[in-house]
Structure 1
């Protein structure tokens, strides 16, 4: 497919189609995979990837078009430094036209040069002033990305940010519904076993969650799976 030109209507049509695909994607994994596959078609890149921000934890690899990108990402996540980490934490575009001449991240530089990467473009993804991740483009040639490439990457990153934020919200809501169902099952077991009402059953689960420093959902899961609560105190003394 020819490289997209953001100045012509075809580009608008292509991004409109992408927006539909992202909206219809069944989950987060499918969403980010659609983004990187689109990047391969729309951009002058050999490889593409998306790294995702995780609140209170290291970044995680969302999607890659080649194992090379996964290796480059993982090395930066493990070291907590590199151009992708900078783009993510500082929410700034990082363009490295010639990896052979890069001096800011020597360990990263040696790795990517050894993997045959000539130029790299990282564009931050954000929604509602919250870091979502980074869209990364790689080319085996130096000086591969021009202003048009960066402009397209920013448009793609905006689409991706909204789609990823939406997919995460839907997953969170689904997990919350599943957790409520699981807690309800566990409460039913306690109500039947000890002849207590729902308030008392929930209080028992909550106490075991606190006493064992375990999430309420996990306590409920253990009870449903084993018909037993963590061995802290007997259920009857609750």
Structure 2
């Protein structure tokens, strides 16, 4: 899709693309590619909070951004983590002269020709779950118009990522239900149990062994037995 301008029509096309994207990864990739044209930034990336609340670089328009974002994450400092922790947007007009975050993050960006940036929180469930980062190769690269478009883009991305996550959660839930149903069928056939008793057996085994129900079901399907822990 050509992104020639940040008009309402262009954002409408983006919304359609995001809705059609299959999974979180493709959704985020659509966001960063659109950002290059809508905001006229040089680079864009999205960092997502993953398992254990550790940030993960999910999409970038230049592979160098992976190392730069990961350096900030490993240092446990810098504007990107400020956005995540405080749930606020952060504008850096001139990275070379900004001293809000001590450390090597600014020098690394300037060395790659990045001079200004904006980081915007992408909220899911009222909390910052991801960060949309836009970078320019000139100081003061983001004026009022670019900032307004960036915030609109972040709003679109927030809705799309939340929807994609819900679909993933629902898919996982459906898979778990299918596993439990198959495991119950095995118990019903082997021990002549009804559905209620078969489910009670799985649930009791899960609780007694401190294991998730879908893991117990998967083991029964794979091995046809419920093993005692070592």
Using structure 1 for the length normalisation, give the TM-score.
Answer: 0.86
Q: 1:26 matched to which residue of 2?
A: 22
Of residues 109-118 and 21-30 in structure 1, the stretch that sits farther from structure 2 once superposed is 109-118
- Closer, same or farther: CA 20–189 of 1 in aligned 2, 3 Å: same
Q: Unaligned stretches of 5+ in structure 1?
A: 234-238
Distance in 1 (alpha carbons) for counterparts of 2:111 and 2:10: 35
1:206 equivalent among 203, 206, 219: 203
Is 2:75 the partner of 1:79? Answer: yes
**1:204 Cα deviation after fit:** 2.4
Pairwise CA RMSD:
2.2
With 134-143 and 71-80 compared, the bigger mean Cα shift is at 71-80
Task: State the distance in 2 between where 1:114 and 1:58 align.
Answer: 26
In the alignment, which residue of structure 2 is the partner of 1:195?
Answer: 192
The residue aligned with 2:154 is: 157
Alignment size in residue pairs: 228
Between stretches 136-145 and 155-164, larger displacement belongs to 136-145
Contact 1:123–1:154 (CA under 8 A) maintained in structure 2: yes
Residue 126 of structure 1: SS of its match in structure 2? Answer: strand
Deviates most, 91-100 or 158-167: 91-100
- Structure 2 spans left out of the alignment, 5+ residues: none
The normalised TM-score by structure 2 is: 0.89
1:106 match: 103
What is the DSSP-based 3-state SS (H/G/I as helix, E as strand, rest coil) of the residue aligned with 1:106? Answer: coil
Q: Which runs of 4+ in 1 moved over 4 A?
A: none
My pick for the range that moved more, 164-173 or 222-231, is 222-231
Residue range with higher mean Cα deviation, 117-126 or 53-62: 53-62
Picking from 206, 211, 215, the partner of 2:212 is 215
Q: 2:49 aligns with which of 53, 63, 66?
A: 53
Distance, in Å, in 2 between the alignment partners of 1:121 and 1:179 is 40
Equivalent residue for 1:92, pick from 88, 92, 104? 88
